[in-house]
Amino acid sequence: MAIPDEALRLECDGEHAPKRLTLANGECVRARAIVIAAGARYRSLNIEGLEPFEGSSIHYWASPLEGRLCQGQEVALVGGGNSAGQAAVYLAAQTKRVTVIARRPLRETMSSYLVDRINAARNIDVVTGCEIAAVEGRDGVMEAIRWRERGSGEEQRLAIRHLFLFIGADPNTDWLAASGIELDERGFIRAGEACGDDRLPLETSRRGIFAIGDVRSTSVKRVAAAAGDGAQVVASLHAHLAKLDREAPSEKAENPQLEPAATG
């Protein structure tokens, strides 16, 4: 266990060679198999003055905890994808009013069934063609947000204490640049059949290296799915290690000194 620590570099010379992890403290870890569960970083707004409200007024998920925290209040949500739509519908059942702010019309970016549910909800307002311009507050408590219409530049203000951001996520894969592991167009790790029919479930383009959870390409970015990946990868690890043991050179071949001495 290395806590707290950070993996900075992953190198692997071949299928049977040990994989090498360089850590932030200068140590090097060698292993026959590696599971990458590095997750993803939720995107935030590129505006000044956001930091004081992180962890108190700005949220990147809508769970029962946030529902209770915002119960009976007005909240705002930024995003136009399915995750944003699901969160808006959920929050509408917990709060007084939800204002959804999106750059494009929802039908261009969200499934029709979610758009229909949002339109049918009496306490969901949708504002499109806009983006957040500023947040206001003091002592770590948000008091209002301002959004700007992208065409006219006109700003509007809404007094709220909670802002939900559902604008996507970036994978934690920058440190894999030297590994040769194949990534998709968004930087998530390809695994399983996406790397070839001969790959084990959850195995990446490099033998013996597996990817699970949010960092894996095509994963559904849900806690239950990530836990399922964690359970499934155990079988793949056993299969990989058993294959290495079967294919490993014999001990005698590696250590000629163990050959019996010749007799004359």
Mean pLDDT, range 213-229, rounded to an integer: 91
Give the closest residue to 229 by CA, choosing from 254, 251, 201, 261: 201
Query: Confidence band (pLDDT; 50, 70, 90) for 263?
Result: very low
**Domains of the chain listed by start with CATH number:** 42-169 (3.50.50.60), 173-247 (3.50.50.60)
pLDDT in tens, 95-107: 999 999 999 999 9
Q: Say whether pLDDT at 133 is over 90.
A: yes
Query: What's the whole-number average pLDDT of the chain?
Result: 90
* C-alpha to C-alpha distance for 36 and 16, rounded to whole angstroms: 19
The interaxial angle of helices 112-120 and 82-92, nearest 10 deg, is: 30
Phi-psi map region of 197: left, alpha, beta (phi>0 left; psi -120 to 50 alpha): alpha
Whether the Cβ atoms of residue 148 and residue 133 lie closer than 8 Å to each other: yes
